[in-house]
Chains A and B, each alone.
Chain A
């Protein structure tokens, strides 16, 4: 009888008590009418700019957010020729997307150079975590049913959220579409198809049904298949010039989601969601001299169910309860790695149980306090040699205060965590007790409500992943967490002249970050044997700038332009005697920027977007052999929206990487040249 089984049973009991408690309490209080509850769990209301006309975009701002936020939503999102969330987040400032290329290639986000494990990703309010490697592959999240992507440097601008929302250095929120029914219409169906280069076939279906006056059901499913073939080219001036076709980049994936929304009472709402993703893909590998074709494969199966309940009681008290269970399987096959038992075939099984309770109390009209407590259990099983079968129990608590006056908003959070590691065999990682303070404020210095300044200070950390701690021959069970400190000062300004220039917005932030006890791989006895250590300190100074302009031109033309720019000096300050002291850290350009634009005319829309990533170094030393050239791509699209046989239709043609530039985001993982996509969707 293992200890963790006992803990599991306690937990189940606890969960049941919690449910009963919520269900019992709710009807009693629900009688009392309350208007405190805001529709969004976020207490800061989004500031919508006056919607000029149907064709132009509706931009969302959270001007009084004390931490910088960037939002891509609705039409704004549709204008970027994006298949997945990963394609879209490239347009955020301060962000580097580590993209291994192709539809199936791993795509992870690195915000403000803190490292990809420092960005927490939330899907419909609940975090997607990967205790095994800390990576969330954003290429797997299709934009098909995504309504909005929000990126917060720091945390979401509300104190009423699950504790996990406070803990990460940066947070990315993916929000799926909420069903909206026109009068006398109880069913919405959207059928779409995307197809194009790389042998892509991607049919998708969205089904929305009003089950009762206040209950709706959404089913979203899609299938993606691609052979992943594309041309790439490597060349040197007066030297070699080789063009080849990317191999083993095929993918087949299915995603299915079911969501139930219920407005339980005037003050209470509940959501249930089930998610399933299954994929099989080739791993095209690094292109190195004389070795262009790889045979490794990976398959994944992710499943989760989550339930959320939110209510407010007696105008004073609000409650948010979340439960989630996820089960992930992943398998890696390397036919070139031949062992006595056959080829390498590693299987990983991850489970997570997560429960969260957040309470908000309105002390006075201007003062709110909240307590959020989360509990989670993570397990990992793998068919690896000397695998310890770890279980992690995490207890998170966040005590917060928010004071809001006309012109000033001040938030303070104290975060506390206790992480308990258990293993069945071999050495277990150390338990961790960590406290982190967060302080943030937003201030309106002038009478103009559309100009605000903000500042924040935030300490956060990431736990070593199970791979860091336990991976056979690499893991180091004595690792400590990796810490970050962030300071940010910024402002937002919005003008609405409503003339030729309809609206303009400006957002600028200066920041200073430190990463210490960075978890890195270090060689031990020989090249086969690496081990993870807490070594490395990084200092990051940066500027993020975002601007948006909407123009109303003659002849019903609307022009929308967005420009973002990022400057980052992210240097290695590990050791003054080290050979790479003060060198820019790998894959961090000093300058990068994006431009998005769209021109609307009646039913037609032309989009153009441009991404520039400056020169980078592929390894720690800033020397010529590690220099990676800048790259820039131009994507274009032509979109028509209208009716075909009285059915609303949207169709478009996209040309990505229009100037057919060959480049690597990650060294030796070539990106596609010019490619095409066609899409059509029907609404019933």
Chain B
């Protein structure tokens, strides 16, 4: 009978071992990487929002501090341990206004407002399927695909919500075209690029114009199919990109004169992303076709004053060769350093490259998944 007791004891041991509970995991702490520092004039540094792949809930926030040269990766959870499930799913846009960071988290249906000094949560503003954000005169404007919350019906049209940046509440909402993307304010008008991406058989072709006084749509400007990017230059011109239809219509870049609200120029250049700083527009082109399965990447420079396309690439070949999937772009307004991100295969951590105005690679650093959107933080008095 000895053998029985032995096995019995073994079983008891196993049973005890199994009853112990799974330990609670602590929040993941930020990681600090030392990079070269930058002279601080008016810009103190920047926040980088990593999108994270859809449903992975891996949107994350990084901060690069110019003065110390420290790059803090994944800062949100440590600063906000009580925020359930962290920053959220698909960080689609980021902006800083006043001393507040606004992160648009697409699949978490929210705009997350953080204090730009402590990085702690100030408010969560629910906006279903929100896309992009811009600011003007004490207000934030957010574009969103879904009309349900904003306009209360099952219309396929999207909307733009106005958020008071003091009260951090939605004040007004206006319906725009289908699946609206980037927005910009010029004077008293708000411009929205409509994509119509949910209907590939019938893309939208317009930029909607909203009067900010009445917060009503006053007109639609016909541009091209499947619009996406929309950036204003200092002359009151809007640079609007079309994604094309991925088959016969290629991606393209257009200029709208906001004085006449008409298209005044077509660049015939592919545009996946762009930023305008000073007299220059830095354009990443990624022209993909489902007919050939090829895609051609370009880094074009446009002088927005003369509206001419430079023949040269804004990135030296030594840097562009390193980049697999160029994704986000920002240029420091003073140093003219180019910050460009590589989303890689979209499911692994990406990279951020810093290239100075003379074309030298200053540093590269590993980011979160799909590094995408950069917001510069200006010195506060």
Residues in chain A within 8 A of chain B (CB atoms): 234-240, 242, 285-291, 336-344, 385-386, 427, 472-473, 476, 478, 500-501, 522-531, 551, 553-554, 559, 579-580, 595, 597, 610, 618-621, 623-625, 629-632, 634, 659, 661-663, 667-668
Map CB proximity to A onto B193-207 as digits: 1 under 8 Å, 0 otherwise. Answer: 000011111100000
Are A290 and B243 interface neighbours, CB within 8 A? no
Q: Is residue B142 contacting chain A, with contact meaning CB distance below 8 A? A: no
Which residue of B is nearest A474, CB measured? B290
CA distance A525 to B347 in the complex (A): 15
Are B288 and A288 interface neighbours, CB within 8 A? no
Given contacts A289-B83, A338-B198, A579-B349, contact A553 B18 (CB under 8 A): no
Which residue of B is nearest A531, CB measured? B293
Are B243 and A289 interface neighbours, CB within 8 A? no
Are A476 and B293 interface neighbours, CB within 8 A? yes
CA distance A630 to B25 in the complex (A): 11
Those 8 A-B pairs whose CB atoms lie nearest each other, nearest first: A239-B81, A289-B88, A288-B89, A525-B288, A286-B55, A289-B85, A288-B57, A338-B156
CA distance A343 to B156 in the complex (A): 8
Are B344 and A579 interface neighbours, CB within 8 A? yes
Are A234 and B85 interface neighbours, CB within 8 A? yes
Q: Is residue B363 contacting chain A, with contact meaning CB distance below 8 A? A: no
What are 12 A-B contacts defined by CB distance under 8 Å? A288-B89, A289-B84, A289-B87, A289-B105, A338-B156, A427-B291, A597-B11, A619-B56, A625-B60, A661-B21, A662-B22, A667-B56
- Most chain A C-beta atoms within 10 Å of own C-beta, residue among B109, B110, B287, B347: B347
Complex interface: chain B residues within 8 A of A476 (CB):
293
Are B198 and A339 interface neighbours, CB within 8 A? yes
Which residue of A is nearest B228, CB measured? A526
Complex interface: chain B residues within 8 A of A234 (CB):
84-85
Are A553 and B85 interface neighbours, CB within 8 A? no
Are A621 and B22 interface neighbours, CB within 8 A? no
Q: Is residue B365 contacting chain A, with contact meaning CB distance below 8 A? A: no
Are B348 and A620 interface neighbours, CB within 8 A? yes
Beyond contacts A527-B346, A554-B1: 17 other A-B pairs, Cβ-Cβ < 8 A, are A236-B26, A237-B24, A237-B25, A239-B82, A240-B83, A240-B84, A288-B88, A289-B87, A336-B148, A338-B154, A500-B3, A525-B295, A527-B54, A619-B347, A619-B348, A629-B22, A668-B55
CA distance A523 to B325 in the complex (A): 8
Given contacts A290-B109, A525-B286, A527-B346, contact A240 B156 (CB under 8 A): no
CA distance A291 to B87 in the complex (A): 12
Q: Is residue B261 contacting chain A, with contact meaning CB distance below 8 A? A: no
Given contacts A239-B26, A634-B18, A659-B19, contact A291 B60 (CB under 8 A): no
Chief secondary structure at chain B's binding surface: loop
Complex interface: chain A residues within 8 A of B22 (CB):
629-632, 661-663
In the complex, chain B residues 11-42 whose Cβ is within 8 Å of any chain A Cβ? 11, 14, 18-19, 21-22, 24-28
- Most chain A C-beta atoms within 10 Å of own C-beta, residue among B22, B81, B243: B22
Are B246 and A525 interface neighbours, CB within 8 A? yes
- Most chain A C-beta atoms within 10 Å of own C-beta, residue among B83, B197, B368: B83
Are B81 and A385 interface neighbours, CB within 8 A? no
Complex interface: chain A residues within 8 A of B28 (CB):
624-625
CA distance A290 to B57 in the complex (A): 10
Are B88 and A240 interface neighbours, CB within 8 A? no
Q: Is residue B147 contacting chain A, with contact meaning CB distance below 8 A? A: yes
Number of A-B contacts (CB under 8 A): 183
Are B200 and A472 interface neighbours, CB within 8 A? yes
CA distance A235 to B253 in the complex (A): 46
CA distance A662 to B22 in the complex (A): 9
Complex interface: chain A residues within 8 A of B88 (CB):
288-291
Q: Is residue B65 contacting chain A, with contact meaning CB distance below 8 A? A: no
CB distance from B2 to the nearest CB of A (A): 10
Q: Is residue B354 contacting chain A, with contact meaning CB distance below 8 A? A: no
Which residue of A is nearest B22, CB measured? A661
Which single member of B3, B81, B147, B178 contacts A236 (CB below 8 Å)?
B81
Q: Is residue B123 contacting chain A, with contact meaning CB distance below 8 A? A: no
CB distance from B17 to the nearest CB of A (A): 9
- Most chain B C-beta atoms within 10 Å of own C-beta, residue among A343, A500, A525, A621: A525
Map CB proximity to A onto B140-168 as digits: 1 under 8 Å, 0 otherwise. Answer: 00000011100000111000000000000
Which residue of A is nearest B153, CB measured? A338
Are B345 and A527 interface neighbours, CB within 8 A? no
CB distance from B76 to the nearest CB of A (A): 10
Map CB proximity to A onto B60-93 as digits: 1 under 8 Å, 0 otherwise. Answer: 1000000000000010010001111111110000
Q: Is residue B107 contacting chain A, with contact meaning CB distance below 8 A? A: yes
Complex interface: chain A residues within 8 A of B4 (CB):
500, 551, 553-554
CB distance from B142 to the nearest CB of A (A): 15
Q: Is residue B341 contacting chain A, with contact meaning CB distance below 8 A? A: no
Given contacts A288-B88, A524-B288, contact A239 B27 (CB under 8 A): yes
Chain B contact patch, size range: 35 or more
Are A625 and B74 interface neighbours, CB within 8 A? yes
Which single member of B18, B105, B108, B178 contacts A659 (CB below 8 Å)?
B18
Complex interface: chain B residues within 8 A of A240 (CB):
81-85
CB distance from B176 to the nearest CB of A (A): 14
Which residue of A is nearest B349, CB measured? A621
Complex interface: chain A residues within 8 A of B19 (CB):
634, 659
Complex interface: chain B residues within 8 A of A528 (CB):
197
Which single member of A341, A343, A473 contacts B200 (CB below 8 Å)?
A473
CA distance A343 to B55 in the complex (A): 21
Which single member of A237, A287, A385 contacts B26 (CB below 8 Å)?
A237
Are B24 and A236 interface neighbours, CB within 8 A? yes
Q: Is residue B221 contacting chain A, with contact meaning CB distance below 8 A? A: no
Which single member of B81, B87, B349 contacts A623 (CB below 8 Å)?
B349
Are B57 and A336 interface neighbours, CB within 8 A? no
Which single member of A291, A342, A629, A663 contacts B89 (CB below 8 Å)?
A291
Which residue of B is nearest A338, CB measured? B156
Complex interface: chain B residues within 8 A of A659 (CB):
18-19, 21
CB distance from A531 to the nearest CB of B (A): 7
Map CB proximity to A onto B163-190 as digits: 1 under 8 Å, 0 otherwise. Answer: 0000000000000001000000000000
Are A579 and B348 interface neighbours, CB within 8 A? yes
CB distance from B155 to the nearest CB of A (A): 7
Complex interface: chain B residues within 8 A of A621 (CB):
348-349
CA distance A156 to B344 in the complex (A): 41
Complex interface: chain A residues within 8 A of B27 (CB):
236-239
Map CB proximity to A onto B300-317 as digits: 1 under 8 Å, 0 otherwise. Answer: 000000000000000000
CB distance from B30 to the nearest CB of A (A): 11
Which residue of B is nearest A662, CB measured? B22
Complex interface: chain A residues within 8 A of B237 (CB):
none
Which single member of A239, A501, A595, A619 contacts B14 (CB below 8 Å)?
A595
CB distance from A231 to the nearest CB of B (A): 15
Complex interface: chain A residues within 8 A of B53 (CB):
619
CB distance from B205 to the nearest CB of A (A): 14
CA distance A251 to B293 in the complex (A): 40
CB distance from A498 to the nearest CB of B (A): 14
CA distance A507 to B369 in the complex (A): 42
Complex interface: chain B residues within 8 A of A631 (CB):
22
Q: Is residue B129 contacting chain A, with contact meaning CB distance below 8 A? A: yes
Are A337 and B198 interface neighbours, CB within 8 A? yes
Which residue of B is nearest A663, CB measured? B22
Which single member of B108, B129, B154, B246 contacts A288 (CB below 8 Å)?
B108
Which residue of B is nearest A522, CB measured? B345
- Most chain B C-beta atoms within 10 Å of own C-beta, residue among A290, A531, A663: A290
Complex interface: chain A residues within 8 A of B87 (CB):
289
Are B55 and A340 interface neighbours, CB within 8 A? no
Complex interface: chain A residues within 8 A of B243 (CB):
525-526
Are B25 and A625 interface neighbours, CB within 8 A? no
CA distance A385 to B200 in the complex (A): 7
CB distance from A661 to the nearest CB of B (A): 5
Complex interface: chain A residues within 8 A of B84 (CB):
234, 240, 242, 289
Are A286 and B57 interface neighbours, CB within 8 A? yes
Complex interface: chain A residues within 8 A of B126 (CB):
290
Which residue of B is nearest A285, CB measured? B55
Q: Is residue B343 contacting chain A, with contact meaning CB distance below 8 A? A: yes
CB distance from B216 to the nearest CB of A (A): 22
